[in-house]
A and B are shown apart, each in its own frame.
Chain A
Amino acid sequence: METAATYPYAANRKTKVQVENLTKCYGDLLVLDKINFEIYQGELLCIVGPTGCGKTTFLNCLSQFIPMTEGSILVDGVPASPEIHNIAFVFQEVSAIPWLTVEDNIRFGLRIKRLPEAEIELRTERMLDLVGLRKYRTYYPQQLSASMEQRVVIARNFAINPDLLLMDEPYGQLDVKLRYYLEDELIRIWKELGSTVAFITHNIEEAIYLAERILILSPKPSTIKEEVIVDLPRPRQYDDPEFVRLREYVTERIKWW
């Protein structure tokens, strides 16, 4: 690891998530092998790795959907748990709730968390504006396009003011134009709300466009192979020579094919 580069990056940042010796086996299959890293408060972290290397598995451990075999994940110093922490999760598959309208989908998490009704309304209105779905508030997910549906899910997750937003290849199924659009939207919302975001992808370009810092996973059994700090001004340009250099560097470092 480029520890020398890491230190100034971490200098005035607070640790949000501390992953220690995280190990996960499915039966005999070792997927995650003693992973150690941290996520800092308010950062936009991208995690890249080959398919099947255990990215989804990692998020599932973090949100306690599956038990970990060994190690610990601490959020703000206590073991991660959806009941204690305000963690939001955008799944790899679009998970808008089919029987709720756009606005009720956004209210869904707030209702589960039993927020006061006035607060729920306030946040719902704000999110409707933030993702530009005000006109479609009474639509059902089935009446929306795939990207609109994904925006509903993103709004639903940002609405709970998550301490930590986990996104698992949320734009994997979308075409390039929509992806660019939603990437910009994510950056905008992230800046506006100051959330901590962990964004998983296997698209290197996407990672460099979004991330402040990139973690590269090796093929399974996965470990953290390298950490790359992306210190480019925003909005980033895909044809900026520095962008291209970084992209080629990360591609070179991954070489999972």
Chain B
Amino acid sequence: MIGRLGKRLMPAALTTGSLLAFVAFWQVVSLYTNPDFLPSPGRVWDEAVRLFHTPVGGKDILAHVGFSLRRVLTAYLWATVLGLPLGLCMGWNRTCEKIVSPIFELLRPIPPIAWIPIAILWLGVAEGSKVFICFVGSFVILVLNSYTGMRYVDPLLIDAARSFGASRRQQFFNVAVPACLPSIFAGLQNALSMAWMCVLAAELVGAREGVGFIIIQGMDLNRPPMILVGMILIGIVGSLLAASLRWAERALCPWRRELV
């Protein structure tokens, strides 16, 4: 029999259980493989502890995370400021759609990573090109999500506003924008994940700091545990970013909260 408390604890127990099982599986596999090939969880842990105390490339590990985050957030901010209004505009206004979407359809299939060489050519190997790659990745997603969200706004709701004599402006701000908030949020989440993936790709190509640099450094120094620490950091930071946006969505879209 599962009591009420049990029901509340159940999901947490399942999450912890699955993480523990994953680590156990990793441990078992690492027992039977060459440690240079797959270091055991223990060794990775030790490496993580070591990295927290000894700087890599002159900076400690949190500073590296900070560098990556700063690039991501700068790019993400720009992508949001430019991409959201553009997407909403495309979805709302036929003329805007006709003008922007052909260019956009052409640029869309180009993966952000394919921009790396040209970005370096334009902006140099320093911050500029890395931020640019992240920007491209998240911008495309933000535009697409807000655009499709706007296209699928229930016309009935617009008509309801029109029947009260709402101006175009009121229809846009009072109905269309709130109606596509869920898809805007989906876009914000995907775009942030994308920016985070892009920063690593960018950092793998010539960086002196950042989480990607740790991985490259681990490879150059031939330290597999260091590579894994870098990868795990990527995972942790990425999921924390996603969780914070989910939290923001729950706070800002209370009508979407599931009620049990």
Residues of A within 8 A of B (CB): 63, 65, 81-84, 87-89, 91, 93, 95, 97-100, 108-109, 111-113, 140-143, 160
Q: Does B170 contact A (CB under 8 A)?
A: yes
Q: Return chain B residues, CB-CB under 8 Å to A65.
A: 159, 162-163
Residue B2 is within 8 A (CB to CB) of chain A in the complex: no
Indicate whether A87 sits within 8 Å of B255 (C-beta atoms), given known contacts A95-B156, A95-B157, A97-B175. no
Contact call A91/B156, Cβ cutoff below 8 A: yes
Interface string of B172-183 (1 = CB under 8 A from A): 001100110100
Cα distance, A63 to B163, chains bound together (Å):
7
Does the CB pair B175–A109 fall under 8 Å? no
Please determine whether A108 and B164 come into contact, CB atoms closer than 8 angstroms.
yes
Q: Taking chain B's interface residues, is the majority helix, strand, or loop, or is none over half, making it mixed? A: helix
CB-based contact A83/B165 at 8 Å: yes
Q: Which residues of B lie under 8 Å from residue A95 when comparing CB positions?
A: 156-157, 159-160
Residues B166 and A112 in contact, CB atoms below 8 Å apart: yes
Contact status B165-A113, CB under 8 Å:
yes
Given A65-B163, A88-B163, A112-B174: 19 more A-B contacts, CB < 8 Å: A63-B163, A65-B159, A81-B165, A82-B163, A82-B165, A84-B165, A89-B160, A91-B156, A93-B156, A99-B179, A99-B181, A108-B174, A112-B165, A112-B166, A112-B170, A113-B164, A140-B255, A142-B255, A160-B164
Which 8 residue pairs are nearest across A and B when measured between Cβ atoms? A89-B163, A82-B165, A109-B164, A140-B255, A83-B165, A112-B164, A95-B160, A112-B166
Interface residues of B in 116-167 (CB under 8 A from A): 156-157, 159-166
Q: Is the CB of B157 within 8 A of A97?
A: yes
Is B81 close to A, CB under 8 A? no
Is residue B114 within 8 Å, beta carbon to beta carbon, of the partner chain? no
Q: How many pairs of residues, A versus B, come closer than 8 Å at their CB atoms?
A: 57
Task: Let me know if A97 and B164 touch, CB within 8 A.
Answer: no
Provide the bound-state CA to CA distance between A65 and B255, in Å. Answer: 29
Whether the pair A143, B164 counts as a contact (CB closer than 8 A) is no
Compute how far the CA of A112 lies from the CA of B175 in the bound complex, rounded to whole angstroms: 11
**Across the interface, do A112 and B179 meet the contact criterion of CB distance under 8 Å?**
no
Return A97 CB to nearest CB of chain B, in Å: 6
A-contact 0/1 string along B202-244, CB 8 Å cutoff: 0000000000000000000000000000000000000000000
- Name the A residues within 8 Å of B254 (CB-CB): 140
B259 at the interface (CB under 8 A from A): yes
> Is B253's beta carbon under 8 Å from chain A?
yes
CA distance A75 to B254 in the complex (A): 40
Residues of A within 8 A of B166 (CB): 112
A160 contact set on B, CB distance < 8 A: 164
Inter-subunit contact B162/A91 (CB<8 Å):
no
Contact assessment for A91 and B159 in the assembled complex, using a CB-CB cutoff below 8 Å: yes
Cβ contact within 8 Å between A82 and B178: no
**Most chain A beta-carbon neighbours within 10 Å: one of B157, B174, B175, B255:** B255
B159: chain A residues within 8 A (beta carbon):
65, 89, 91, 95
Q: Considering the chains assembled together, what is the distance between the CA atoms of A93 and B156 in angstroms?
A: 8
Residues of B within 8 A of A97 (CB): 157, 160, 175
**Chain B residues with CB under 8 A of A99:** 178-179, 181, 253, 255
Q: Hey, which chain B residues are within 8 Å of A109, CB to CB?
A: 164
User: What are 15 of the A-B contact pairs (CB < 8 Å)?
Assistant: A65-B162, A93-B156, A95-B160, A97-B160, A98-B179, A99-B255, A100-B255, A108-B161, A109-B164, A111-B174, A112-B164, A113-B164, A140-B255, A141-B255, A142-B255
Q: How far is the CA of A160 from the CA of B165 in the complex (A)?
A: 11
Contacts of A81 in B (CB 8 A): 165
Centre residue among A88, A99, A142 by max chain B CB count within 10 A: A99
| B255 partner residues in chain A, CB cutoff 8 A | 98-100, 140-142
Which of B160, B163, B254 counts the most chain A CB atoms within 10 A?
Answer: B163
Residue of B nearest to A100 (CB): B255
Chain A residues whose C-beta falls within 8 Å of the C-beta of B160 in the assembled complex: 89, 91, 95, 97, 108
State how many angstroms separate the Cβ of B160 from the closest Cβ of chain A.
Answer: 5
* Smallest beta-carbon distance B251→chain A, Å: 14
Q: Which residues of A contact B162 (CB under 8 A)?
A: 63, 65, 82
Asked if B175 and A87 sit within 8 Å, CB to CB, the answer is: no
Q: How far is the CA of A99 from the CA of B252 in the complex (A)?
A: 10
Contact A87 B163 (CB under 8 A): yes
Report the Cα distance A63→B159, complex, angstroms. 10
Residues in chain B near residue A91, CB distance under 8 A: 156, 159-160
Max chain A CB contacts within 10 Å: which of B160, B161, B181, B254?
B160
Whether A143 contacts B259 by the Cβ 8 Å rule is yes
How close is A66's CB to chain B, nearest CB, in angstroms?
Answer: 10
How far apart are A211's CB and chain B's nearest CB, in angstroms? 22
> What is the distance, in angstroms, from A95's C-beta to the closest C-beta of chain B?
5
